[in-house]
Structure 1
Amino acid sequence: MLPRALNLGILAHVDAGKTTLSERLLHAAGVIEEVGRVDHGTTVTDSLDLERRRGITIRAAVAALEIAGVAVNLVDTPGHPDFIAEVERVLDVLDGAVLVVSAVEGVQPQTRVLLRALQHRGIPCLVFVNKVDRRGADVVGVQAEIGRRLGLRTVAMGRVDGEGTAGAAAVGFRADDPDLLGPLAEVLADLDEHLLQEYVEHELSSGPALWRAELVRQTRRGLVHPLFVGSALTGTGVGALVDGIGEFLPAASGDPDGPVRGSIFKIERGHAAEKVCYLRMVSGSVRLRDQVNDAGDKVSAIQIFERGRWTGGDHLPAPLIGKVWGLAGARVGDAVGERQSRRPGHEFGLPMLESVIHPVHEDDQVALRTALAQLAEQDPLIDVRVDERHAELAVSLYGEVQREVLQATLADDYGLDVVLRPATPLYVERPRRVGTAAEVLFGPGNPFRATVGLRVAPSPPGAGVTFSSEVDHRAVPLYVYRTMEDFTRAMEHHVADTLREGLSGWPVTDCAVTLVRSGYSSPDGPPSSNGPLSTAADFRKLTPMVLMAALEQAGTAVHTPVSRVRVQAPTATTGGLLTALGRLAAEIDAPAVLGDDVVLEAVLPALDVQRLRRALPTLTSGHGFLDAEPAGHRPVRGTPPRRRRTRVDPRDREAYIAAVRPS
């Protein structure tokens, strides 16, 4: 029998209780004897000292249990928006998810962000309304809010007795309970004409089995979401959720004997500072001493989960998750085995801030670079920017908490005292129109033995940078590149590297780059191209000249990162809040009234979110709270800012050629 596994993500807005729920699930399955507490720093999945001190999840953690004979890999993800990139990497390996929503706070900004990502990937999910034992809990109101604000079709699988008290108890509906079957039939009949006819003609007389089976089917299609209620802190309702995970979410099955395909979604360092890769196998098996990447690295050790514990093994079969040692050149997001199609762009957007970092002690400069390189393997989006010309390092960040965590990590794990300057906006450039340029082999002003032609075109916001090729294999020096795929991959790398600094020095994004011409020199070529052999270096060095010329023809617009904030505060403070938002150049939606409070939503520059957060206690007499989420970019008004370049501008042909040609 092929192995069956369910890679299950626990996702939520920060402080909704997902890590405590993970502990409860492990306890219910008998994996741990006692349930850890986030506030006590005793949880299994928050294993980093820094996580325990701060009481937040920073890195995704994997634990294992068994439900109904299925091996469940439980992935606890960060809830704080500063670590959203960690969540994005995990989503690509999930088969199902539990979206945790607080019965008190209800739907929050991160809840919406996470749900959109799950829906985009077609990942089925259950909803767990947590903290029913907290004062102010309102399960019915939260379920209505989930339908209204998230557009989800939910079916309540139980109710709460003593809601909002320490003794609150979740009571699951029986399979034939009218309180379950009535709402369930209404939801399902709305999706299927045959079920609608069945409901109209026979109401519920056909029995619960029909409706339950259809609920399973529609849940796995992502169209309906069973909603469970309970408290992760006390454990009430968790048993019903465990049963629901086994019934409603689909277990994955992969052929262990098929072609090898997998992906690395997490990297950490072992006790001896060796690289440990978390690998999700989709097909095939990885075995000891297998060579699984282009770097020639060989697997030296494997661990898989058995009975809730990591144990050594000689192979990792699909569809399991395991730890793999020996892949020294691996980075998060790397494919193992056969290459798989990649999803363009980033679901949650790129970091919006940048901070210059330097060691307190000058002698630690090399050690700092080494440490940042290792951290970039775990989180590529910190994107260490090295400015050799001005002896400066900078890192990309999502927010102030991530900045503080990075500083603490360097101190705790690497013994490095560093200073991070106040964050500044990380602007981006987008092409205005289509631009094309080419440099021809042996042409005037082209000292490189290659022909390269590139076209740059704008792409929709959030698309990132895409690369494609229109050239024929006969125009490619296959004596240098083994295959057409290798050549295309190399050119894609050269393009991405060049676009790190656009016309104004900022990263260029949301553009499609197409290779439209290629040519090379060889002794036995036609008269127009014969001569000394072309090399990979010729294409690498020529590409920036051509690409920047095409980009200059296209023109770019500089955009500033913005965030959407939601402020809730007493209505008496509305005037002061509107004035403060106006000073920050915010685009403000119409205010909404919620009881005695006003709710303001606005889009404002990302850097100003922290200013607003610091001013909020004074503006609201301590009674306001704020949530924020990335909202993309908007064009800079007035003169666009420029960023100092870290290398010679390829548009300065003479200086560039002098810099890249060997002396």
Structure 2
Amino acid sequence: MTTLNLGILAHVDAGKTSLTERLLHTAGVIDELGSVDDGSTRTDTMALERQRGITIRSAVVSFTVAGVTVNLIDTPGHPDFIAEVERVLGVLDGAVLVVSAVEGVQAQTRVLARTLRRLGIPTLFFVNKVDRAGADPDRVVRQIADRLSPDVVALGRVDAAGTPAARWLPAAPDDPDHTARLVDLLTAHDDALLAAYVQDERTVTAARLRAALAAQTARARVHPVHAGSAITGAGVDELVAGIVALLPAADGDDRAPLSGTVFKVERGPAGEKIAYARIFAGTVRVRDRIRYRGDHEAKVTGIAVFDDGDAVPRDAVGAGRIARLHGLTEVRVGDHLGTPPDRPAGRHHFSPPTLETVVVPARAADRAALHTALTQLAEQDPLINLRQDDLRREIAVSLYGEVQKEVIQATLADEYALPVTFWETSTVCVERLTGVGAAVEWIGKDPNPFLGTVGLRVEPAPVDSGVEFRLGIELGSMPLAFLKAIEETVRETLRQGLRGWEVVDCVVTLTHGGYWARQSHAHGVFDKSMSSTAGDFRNLTPLVLMAALSRAGTRVHEPVHRFHLDLPADLLGTVLPVLATLDAVPRTATLRGASYLLDGEVPAGRVHALEQRLPALTRGEGTLESEFDHYRPVRGPAPSRPRWDHDPLHRKEYLLAVARRVTARPER
């Protein structure tokens, strides 16, 4: 039996979880349909998900159809929980992107479609809610072609759209209009098919077109469109048939070396970690010792695979499957099992969080418990980016939006009995280098009190290239442990630049390195005071790096969102001055009938304020979509963020804190 790992993705409220429920019902996994409104769906298991009617954590269920086991992963639709979607993308064989027939293509739809296309994930579109008043599936299909991808083709049409009797009518194989659309789309990507059609169009039969459609869909060249209703079941049978026939099944060799990726971590009833992993190659058996995250190793104590909706215990799991693994006590989301797969899992597909807030326990005695709880939440969502300021006894978390903050607050109260409040949400900026800088401190020479020589040069790198650490000294001239200590400390130190923000997109080159070899007295007693250790390099590197940054200079950049604002035409003159007070800059204004569509930029920190003011400004008729676009230099005074550790920019205090001394050791 083959396996297909399928993601269900959508903008919030497009009906994604209801579609998941309907697919399980159609496959016979469940006897009764659950309801999002009633909190009775199979995949929304958290109490908070049931209360709010939104998906917060990704969930895996399965069903079998036509000899194919479909592992279906239901993902959140709200943009505040995009990190959950990010972790799933790298383990998918295919995806269904759900679009509402009423609301049409929305901001999150565009973000998801762009990412699926960039990663080359085979994707079907499903236009949902065709039974709802105001549904216009034909308009939505045109939107998909205009805004998401021109390489789409509807495989049928909707009859009685906008009524409870709406139904999906698949195109007949001999329908000349449908055949013409398929030929136009498929021959654009297949020269052999085009040549055959030009030579004798009769040889391009319906069966050949269907085979070409499946092949090009599997290569993410084209995207078939289905439509229907998750509530009534219209069109769902045809969608299931399309999933099996058009999306590629998982591949992989059970006998190859182990290769897998952990995309979700949760805790069991006893607090034990459970890792959700996609196995790309090889086989995992109970009691196997497997390696992950470099040099970590652990014994697998339990395995469960998904079968007809439930996680079923197994002794082993092979390539292509998704499994729940017990026993990996130190595992984290994004860890590779065995050999890293040749997949984009682990890369950031979406923008990082651009907001931050400090979490304050209602009871001062709960501070340690709060840190433990947030650490566990960060295991499930690493982009929370837990940051503890020991100097001020504060704990900060990164956020995508205000809804995520509310969810964290409710989760801490419900699951950990920890009432908390939050400081006002602030924007997370970054620092970029404005020039090149270098610094060096020599072993045994004032003012260096550490037994090590470190020289570093920093220089700007292209946007979004990340941090690159290079060796400018001969490999082998220093012990590997010392080089590793320097690189790790460089990356950690760059989290707080000259003004406290993370320094991004730069190249750091180790230009000088030196150490004192291990010294000992009579009888082989180790003399630490005369021998370099990794600690010397961990303590010295921040001083050298910050000196190099100071000489290079940095500039603070703030995150900027691209916005799309649809508002009544007569209110344009009222809204524009308000946008100006929020530092929003309209780029284009397009008149469409009785409304204006404004496209522009707004600082990320002002998006929430714009959302709050919009209903009153537009008589409740305005709609706003926004998404992260880029970082831009801050205008005016550069904001700073207090450091949460000992500050290497203040040498005396730093040395007193980390080394309890401020002068160098005497030379040998």
Q: Partner of 1:354 in structure 2? A: 356
Using the TM superposition, name which of 608-617 and 50-59 deviates more. Answer: 608-617
SS at match of 2:276: strand
Query: What residue number does 1:641 align with?
Result: 639
1:216–1:247: 8 Å Cα contact kept in structure 2?
yes
Q: 1:174 to 1:365 in 2, by over 3 A?
A: same
Deviates more, 1:362-371 or 1:558-567: 558-567
Aligned partner of 2:309: which letter?
A: G
Contact 1:176 1:207 in 2 (8 A): no
Q: Which amino acid aligns with 1:312?
A: P
Query: 1:609-658 deviations in whole A, cap 9, x for unaligned?
Result: 11111111111112222222122321100110111111222132332222
Is contact 1:181–1:204 with CA below 8 Å preserved after alignment? no
The 1:102/1:657 distance shift into structure 2, 3 A limit, reads same
Report if aligned partners of 2:451, 2:515 keep a CA contact under 8 Å in 1. yes
| Matching residue within 151, 165, 168 for 1:167 | 165
Q: CA deviation at 1:292?
A: 2.5
Once the 2 structures are TM-superposed, how far is the Cα of residue 545 of structure 1 from its aligned partner? 1.9
Contact 1:505 1:644 in 2 (8 A): yes
Name the structure 2 match of 1:130.
128
Q: 1:421–1:219: structure 2 CA closer, same or farther, 3 Å change rule? A: same
The gaps in structure 1 that reach 5 residues or longer are 482-486
Distance of aligned partners of 1:360 and 1:523 in 2 relative to their CA distance in 1, 3 Å threshold: closer
Cα deviation code 1:437-493 (max 9, x no counterpart): 333333432232333333333233333334344554412314x57xxxxx54x5443
Aligned to 2:211: 213
Shift of 1:131: 1.1
Aligned partner of residue 534 in structure 1, secondary structure: coil
Of the structure 1 ranges 467-476 and 221-230, higher mean CA displacement relative to structure 2 is found in 467-476
Q: How far did 1:27 drift?
A: 1.3
Equivalent residue number for residue 484 of structure 1: none
The aligned counterpart of 1:659 is 657
1:450 & 1:437 partners in 2: Cα distance? 14
d(CA) in 2 for partners of 1:144 and 1:204? 29
- Find the counterpart in structure 2 of residue 266 from structure 1: 264
Counterpart AA for 1:292: R
Q: Please tell me whether the aligned partners of residues 353 and 423 of structure 1 are also in contact (alpha carbons under 8 angstroms).
A: yes
Aligned pairs for 1:280-295 (under 5 A) are 280-289=278-287, 290-293=289-292, 294-295=295-296
Do the aligned residues in 2 keep the contact of 1:467 with 1:512 (CA within 8 Å)?
Answer: yes
Distance 1:436 1:220, change over 3 A: farther
Distance 1:357 1:457 in 2: 35
- Cα offsets for 1:574-622 (capped at 9, x unmatched): 1112121111111202212233222222211112111111111111112
Instruction: Give the 3-state SS of the residue equivalent to 1:97 in structure 2.
Output: strand
Aligned-residue identity in percent: 51
The CA distance in 1 between the partners of 2:66 and 2:459, in whole Å, is 52
Correspondent of 1:494 among 489, 493, 497: 489
CA distance in 2 between counterparts of 1:657 and 1:79 reads 48
Paired residues of 1:101 and 1:129 also in contact (CA < 8 A): yes
Distance in 2, matches of 1:4 and 1:540, equals 50
Counterpart Cα distance in 2 of 1:74 and 1:329: 27
Secondary structure of 1:82's match?
helix
SS in 1 for 2:502: coil
TM-score normalised to structure 2 length = 0.93
Partner residue of 1:477?
479
Residues 360-414 of structure 1 deviation map (CA, whole Å, 9 limit, x = unaligned): 1111111101101111111111111111111111111110000111100100110
1:143-542 equivalence runs, <5 A:
143-289=141-287, 290-293=289-292, 294-339=295-340, 346-478=348-480, 480=481, 488=484, 490-523=485-518, 532-542=530-540
- State the partner residue of 2:524: none
The alpha-carbon distance between structure 1 residues 97 and 492, as it changes in their structure 2 partners (threshold 3 A), is farther
- Bigger drift between 57-66 and 491-500 goes to 491-500
CA distance, structure 2, for counterparts of residue 296 and residue 205 of structure 1: 57
Cα displacement (A) at 1:287: 2.4
1:565 aligns with 2:563: yes
8 A Cα contact 2:196 2:203, kept in partner: no
- Residue type matched to 1:278 in 2? Y
Check the 8 A contact 2:29/2:308 in 1, yes or no.
yes
**Paired residue for 1:77?**
75
Alpha-carbon distance between aligned partners in 2 of 1:518 and 1:31, rounded to the nearest angstrom: 63
Note the C-alpha offset of 1:100. 0.9
Report which stretch shifted further, 574-583 or 465-474: 465-474
- Of 88-97 and 465-474, more deviation after overlay is shown by 465-474
Equivalent-residue separation in structure 1 for 2:541 and 2:570 (angstroms)? 60
Q: Secondary structure at the match of 2:503?
A: coil
Helix, strand or coil at the partner of 1:45: coil
1:336 maps to a residue whose letter is L
Q: Which moved more, 1:149-158 or 1:645-654?
A: 645-654
Give the Cα separation in 2 of the matches to 1:456 and 1:45.
48
- Please give the alpha-carbon distance, in whole angstroms, between the structure 1 residues aligned to 2:347 and 2:60: 26
Mapped to 1, the partners of 2:605 and 2:118 lie a distance apart of 28
Aligned to 2:592: 594
Flag structure 2 segments of 5+ consecutive residues without an equivalent. 521-527, 662-668
Query: CA offsets per residue over residues 268-326 of structure 1, 9 Å max, x none?
Result: 11111211111111111222231433334322211111233211122222221111112
Change in CA separation of 1:261 and 1:514 when aligned onto 2, cut-off 3 Å: farther
Report deviation, 1:346.
2.6
Report the AA paired with residue 501 of structure 2: W
Q: CA deviation at 1:531?
A: 9.4
Query: Shift in Å at residue 175 of structure 1?
Result: 2.9
1:544-559 → structure 2 map (5 Å cutoff) = 544-559=542-557
Cα distance in structure 2, aligned partners of 1:492 and 1:87: 31
Report the Cα distance in structure 1 between the residues aligned to 2:509 and 2:126, rounded to whole angstroms. 46
Say if 2:576 is the partner of 1:575: no
Cα 1:63–1:40 change in 2 (3 A) is same
